[in-house]
Amino acid sequence: MSDDQFDHFASVDPTAESAPGSNQADTDQINDEMAARLGRRPWPASNLRPGFEVSFEFFPAATDAGEQNLVDTASRLADFDPAFVSVTYGAGGTTQERTLNSIRRLKGETNLDVAGHLTCVGASAAEVHEVLDVYAEAGVRRVVALRGDPPEGESDGTRPDGYRSATELVQGIRARSDGDSWDISVAAYPEIHPKAVSPSSDLDNLKRKIDAGADRALTQFFFDTDAFLRFLDTARAAGITAPIVPGIMPVTNFEKTAGFSGRCGTSIPAWMSDLFGGVDDVPEVQQMIAATVAAEQCRRIAEHGVQTFHFYTMNRIELTLALCKILGVGAAAQAEPITSGSRSSIA
């Protein structure tokens, strides 16, 4: 998911900033009950496969209290042993300082491996490398390298003294004296980037980014699993051998997700409209459906040999927690029995 898309989704959902508090125990109990109920579905109860890995994406906190909540939230997900967590910033680096603050807190107060997002829109090459230097000083050696979308009203957004594409950005990182020490992720689009001329040109762009030195591609979120599997086959046939990690976004609110998906080119299968219809105002039911949909999506993809997943948390971790428990991810999912007793029942 591009940074401006993530930023827009957060802006239309003001409750999205994580806020663990006095009801956290109740939330955990609901998650346990949800996982127990869904775990009784006819699928294997064991982990998907040895070596199965996840990563999580957050957007930066807007306030000091939000930063603490973000640290607390990420710490809870640390129990699932993620490969890394990433922190976005908005179009043109509009939340760059917030991103840097959140990354420093996460790196300094958790044991998580942290990745910072990095875009070239609106920045000179020198400014991009200044951000990389700040990341390095904070102990961060992972980045998600994106071109970034131009600010509203601009058609391009790049600068003559900057990088013009994610490919050039990856090349610039690798050309640094410490270039080999960076782990670089780039974006991929199973249903084609909204501004791409054609699917083949979009795939060519991905190959250029990988050939420039990217370690993996993280995909835009999707709900049409067949579209991802076709894209994966096409990419492999085109000679792209680097990991292509599916981006999974549990649905926190279907109406908002559908509207957002339409703007970024992600299709919504008809069955999802039927399944989620009328439940946005019944959060317990909505969460159970959302967790089921995401878990079945992951399991089907795993059947095709994929063993890494990137979860877009939208800073709302209840669904992500439940999903990881359902899938049997990490030690936390197996650490203690899941109980069914709760003051909040889930139908």
Identify the pLDDT of residue 32: 63
341 domain residue, yes or no: no
Which whole-number Å values give the CA distances from 264 to 12, 194, 277, in the listed order?
A: 15, 6, 22
Q: What are phi and psi for residue 303, nearest 5 degrees?
A: -65, -20
345 domain residue, yes or no: no
Identify the pLDDT of residue 28: 63
220 domain residue, yes or no: yes
Answer for the pair 6, 249: CB distance below 8 angstroms, yes or no.
no
CATH number of the domain that residue 131 is part of: 3.20.20.220
**Which two three-digit tokens encode residue 59?**
């957007």
Kindly list the catalytic residues: 57
344 domain residue, yes or no: no
215 domain residue, yes or no: yes
Answer for the pair 262, 222: CB distance below 8 angstroms, yes or no.
no
Identify the pLDDT of residue 27: 57
Answer for the pair 309, 222: CB distance below 8 angstroms, yes or no.
no
For residue 264, the tally of other CB atoms under 10 A from its CB is 20
Alpha carbon distance 144, 80 (integer Å): 21
Q: What is the pLDDT along the chain (347 residues), one digit of tens a residue?
A: 655 554 545 544 433 444 444 456 665 665 565 555 555 444 444 455 556 899 999 999 888 898 999 999 899 999 899 999 999 976 555 578 889 999 999 999 999 999 999 998 889 999 999 999 999 999 999 999 999 877 776 767 788 899 999 999 999 999 999 999 999 999 999 999 988 999 999 999 999 999 999 999 999 999 999 999 999 999 999 999 999 999 999 998 888 898 889 888 899 998 898 888 888 888 888 888 899 899 999 989 999 999 999 999 988 888 899 888 888 887 555 543 333 332 222 22
Q: Where are the beta strands (DSSP E) in the chain?
A: 53-58, 85-87, 114-119, 142-146, 183-188, 216-221, 244-248, 308-312
Domain boundaries, position 223? 3-334
342 domain residue, yes or no: no
240 domain residue, yes or no: yes
301 domain residue, yes or no: yes
> In the chain, how many domains are there?
1
Amino acid in position 53: E
